[in-house]
């Protein structure tokens, strides 16, 4: 479908900078705004700057960038600050270049970062490593506008030479450095921020965010498919509207079909927050902080703007990027583009016998076993000590107590399987497995039996990556293949969203999970840089002591 480029659009012009609204005609010329002409007549709809997701891993949508863009524009999103950290952990610099090249094929403004932590830690197996020299090379590219989230905050605090070289490379080019320091407070937070780290999207309490704001940091309010911090942090917006941005971080395809940053604007306004402050957070702050070439609805700016029905629910009527109409009334005009996969996958099928574990091989305390507690809407987990269940001298899942076996399988080369136990998935039968497992993206699975676990894992292996689920009857199963780095599909965005919705409902309705986003929650159970207890392919990891349990 060809894009239409109107000469002008009419509506109620929303001037975020001067906090005024008036009927106007916005005139486009050569992709820019040539004039803003006040009108002496009533107009319908409101013309706004386009929305920006200030921190997102496009890979988590299970869509390649060109397909992500097709969905995002229907919600008025015109640009993203995109951290290609996920594909970089699988495919290295080649993966970063893959994202850049694919994103260039569509009229959407992707701004990528140079991944700062590949691998994320030394306590897991990743598919690649990107050192400070390579980070500097990436930062020199015009498509790379910042250093991605510096998750190795211990390295910053301890002045690790390699970590500091990466930060210095960004500063030398005048490019900002994103942070990632969940729970860091007080003098340690100040030391981290003083290293030149300017944002954090990991605050999960108001007190933590206030602490970091006090030291000059920008706080990103995150609301993704799994991590939901909006309610905890939104009350900060009225007092700190110039230091806050909205982001999704990780958003699965089904929820991206439903909404994006526009939904956060609606929720904020519903709480009585001034609409101009909300729009500053959603549209203006990311452009100023990251020095983006995204228009802000001023004469001479790129014509990146949207028309919404009203300033309450922010239902998007039309989206324009560089003056081109790219979406209208929920219909995306961005076409699918041809792409080929890139991957690293060398994993043999597993057997149920490989998933057995004896009590002597597992951490115990006063006769209790260590259990990961998954938390709804959070990336953090708790460390529990709970009674074990035995069968034939082996530790096994117990669906009655909801203490289930979780395993991580090295997807890069044959290796022993890591085994632990987890609570809150509420599976009553079967198992689920995924090669989307932050940050190294080995295969992670949770299930009620070793047989079901093996079946679900092997479904993913057969696809070269994906998400899979099986019921106790192994013939009753579903799988969504993700051949691009085991993270993304090559299919149409709407097809992927439909397929993901189907497998998500299968897990909830047939396997019994009560989690809002079981696969998204599963994907973070191997994320070692978020406390308190996680499982990598090398073993059960204590995020507080940064050591194996």
Bridge partner residues of 10 (DSSP): 25
**How much is the pLDDT for 120?**
87
The correct answer on CATH 3.40.50.170 for the domain covering 50-292 is no
Separation of CA 344 from chain center: 21
Segment 167-183 shows an average pLDDT of 96
**Half-sphere exposure (Cβ direction) of 15: Cα atoms closer than 13 Å:** 15
Domain boundaries, the chain: 50-292, 352-548
Q: Give whole-number Cα distances, 202 to 101, 151, 212, 221, 332, in Å.
A: 29, 10, 11, 8, 32
Measured between alpha carbons, how far is 131 from 549 in angstroms, rounded to an integer?
Answer: 28
Listed residue (59, 137, 178) closest to 439, CA to CA: 59
Q: What is the pLDDT of residues 419-450, one digit of tens each?
A: 999 999 999 999 999 999 998 999 999 999 99
**How much is the pLDDT for 226?**
74
Measured between alpha carbons, how far is 39 from 148 in angstroms, rounded to an integer?
Answer: 44
Q: What is the pLDDT of residues 478-525, one digit of tens each?
A: 999 999 999 999 999 999 999 999 999 999 999 999 999 899 899 999
Tokens of 24: 């106007």
SS3 of 53, please? Answer: strand
Measured between alpha carbons, how far is 267 from 10 in angstroms, rounded to an integer?
Answer: 26
Measured between alpha carbons, how far is 59 from 264 in angstroms, rounded to an integer?
Answer: 21
Listed residue (62, 378, 375) closest to 230, CA to CA: 378
Which H or E element spans position 258? helix 253-258
Q: What is the pLDDT of residues 254-263, one digit of tens each?
A: 999 999 999 9
Measured between alpha carbons, how far is 467 from 441 in angstroms, rounded to an integer?
Answer: 12
Mean model confidence pLDDT for the chain: 95
Query: Contact 28/5 with Cβ under 8 angstroms?
Result: yes
Query: Contact 385/533 with Cβ under 8 angstroms?
Result: no
**How much is the pLDDT for 359?**
93
124 pLDDT more than 60: yes
Query: Contact 305/26 with Cβ under 8 angstroms?
Result: yes
Q: Give whole-number Cα distances, 248 to 82, 121, 225, 408, in Å.
A: 11, 23, 8, 26
Query: Contact 252/223 with Cβ under 8 angstroms?
Result: no
Q: Give one DSSP letter per residue of 461-508, joined into a string.
A: HHTTSEEEEE-SSTTSEEEEE-TBTTTBB-S-HHHHHHHHHHHHHHHH
Tokens of 281: 């957070």
**How much is the pLDDT for 2?**
59
Query: How many residues in the chain?
Result: 549
Location of structure tokens 């030291």: 215
Q: What is the pLDDT of residues 212-245, one digit of tens each?
A: 999 999 999 999 877 789 999 999 999 999 999 9
Measured between alpha carbons, how far is 397 from 371 in angstroms, rounded to an integer?
Answer: 11
């Amino acid at each position: 479908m060809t894009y239409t480029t109107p000469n002008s659009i009419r509506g109620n012009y929303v001037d975020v900078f001067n906090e005024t609204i008036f009927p106007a005609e916005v005139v486009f010329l050569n992709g820019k705004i040539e004039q803003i002409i006040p009108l002496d007549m009533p107009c319908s709809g409101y013309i706004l700057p386009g929305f920006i997701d200030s921190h997102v891993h496009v890979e988590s949508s299970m869509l390649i960038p060109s397909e992500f863009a097709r969905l995002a524009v229907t919600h008025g999103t015109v640009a993203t600050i995109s951290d290609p950290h996920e594909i970089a952990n699988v495919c290295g610099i080649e993966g970063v270049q893959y994202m850049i090249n694919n994103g260039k094929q569509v009229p959407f403004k992707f701004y990528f970062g140079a991944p700062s932590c590949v691998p994320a830690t030394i306590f897991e197996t990743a598919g690649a490593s990107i050192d400070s020299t390579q980070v500097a090379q990436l930062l020199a590219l015009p498509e790379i506008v910042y250093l991605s989230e510096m998750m190795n905050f211990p390295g910053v605090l301890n002045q690790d030479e390699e970590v500091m070289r990466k930060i210095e490379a960004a500063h030398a080019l005048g490019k900002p450095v994103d942070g990632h320091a969940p729970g860091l407070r007080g003098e340690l937070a100040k030391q981290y921020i003083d290293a030149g780290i300017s944002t954090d999207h990991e605050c999960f309490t108001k007190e933590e965010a206030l602490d970091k704001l006090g030291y000059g940091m920008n706080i990103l309010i995150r609301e993704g498919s799994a991590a939901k911090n909006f309610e905890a942090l939104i009350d900060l917006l009225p007092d700190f509207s110039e230091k806050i941005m909205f982001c999704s971080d990780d958003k699965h395809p089904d929820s991206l079909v439903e909404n994006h940053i526009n939904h956060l604007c609606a929720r904020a306004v519903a709480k009585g927050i001034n609409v101009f402050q909300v729009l500053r957070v959603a549209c203006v702050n990311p452009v100023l902080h990251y020095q983006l070439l995204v228009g802000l609805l001023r004469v001479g700016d790129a014509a990146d703007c949207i028309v919404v029905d009203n300033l309450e629910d922010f239902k998007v009527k039309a989206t324009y990027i560089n003056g081109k109409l790219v979406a209208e009334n929920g219909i995306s005009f961005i076409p699918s583009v041809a792409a080929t996969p890139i991957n690293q996958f060398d994993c043999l099928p597993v057997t149920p016998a490989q998933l057995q574990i004896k009590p002597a091989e597992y951490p115990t305390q006063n006769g209790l076993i260590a259990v990961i507690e998954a938390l709804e809407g959070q990336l953090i987990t708790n460390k529990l000590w709970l009674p074990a269940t035995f069968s034939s001298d082996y530790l096994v899942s117990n669906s009655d107590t909801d203490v289930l076996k979780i395993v991580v399988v090295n997807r890069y080369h044959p290796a022993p399987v890591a085994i632990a136990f987890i609570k809150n998935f509420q599976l009553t039968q079967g198992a689920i497995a995924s090669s989307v497992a932050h940050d190294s993206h080995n295969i992670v699975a949770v299930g009620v039996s070793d047989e079901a676990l093996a079946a679900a894992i092997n479904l993913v292996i057969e696809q070269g990556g994906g998400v899979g689920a099986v019921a106790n009857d192994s013939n009753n199963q579903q799988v969504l293949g993700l051949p691009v780095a085991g993270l993304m599909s090559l299919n149409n965005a709407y097809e992927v969203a439909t397929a993901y919705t189907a497998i998500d409902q299968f897990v909830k309705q047939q396997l019994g999970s009560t989690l809002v986003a079981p696969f998204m929650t599963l994907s973070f159970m191997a994320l070692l840089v978020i406390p308190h207890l996680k499982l990598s392919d090398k073993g059960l990891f204590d995020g507080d002591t940064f050591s194996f349990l």
